[in-house]
Amino acid sequence: MDKKQIELLQGTLDMLILKAVSLGPLHGYGVLLRIQQISKDRLEIQQGSLYPALYRLEHQGWIASEWGESENKRKAKYYRLTAAGKRKFQTEAEKWNRMADVIAGILQSTPEEV
């Protein structure tokens, strides 16, 4: 494992999953690969915690699942974003961006500005 990986911030995994499946239906392992791919392997994701998050999101109705066939012709459970999930993802993403801006603004501030 790359030592430069950073640990996921609390509560951000849900958002990343929503982003991952917003690009098209994915099975659990696919979600993991997609996130790693987008993040260019800079995030450390506990594989074991991925599934509880998927189940929770499905339970809340943000994503839906159905069984389908994987690339190598095996049965796999595919998740896709629901309409409610889409709205949820948009508000969450907006919130996150605003938060990131504010935090970044604070961290970049110089003594003169304060």
Q: Does 46 bind other proteins (CB under 8 A)?
A: yes
Cβ neighbours of residue 94 under 8 Å, at least 6 residues apart?
A: none
Taking CB under 8 A as the criterion, the residue among 40, 75, 108, 113 binding other proteins is: 75
Give the amino acid at 96.
W
Backbone angles phi, psi at 71, to 5 degrees: -55, -40
Tokens representing residue 86 in the block: 């889409």
Q: Does 85 bind other proteins (CB under 8 A)?
A: no
Considering beta carbons, is residue 87 or 98 the nearer one to other proteins? Answer: 87
Q: For residue 8, give the DSSP letter.
A: P
Euclidean distance between CA atoms 75 and 14, whole angstroms: 24
Tokens representing residue 20 in the block: 């991952």
Point out which span in 7-15, 69-77, 89-97, 103-111 binds other proteins (CB under 8 A): 69-77
Query: Measured from the CB of residue 55, what is the shortest distance to other proteins in angstroms?
Result: 4
List of residues contacting other proteins (CB under 8 A): 27-29, 32, 46-49, 51-53, 55-56, 58-61, 67, 70, 72, 74-77, 84
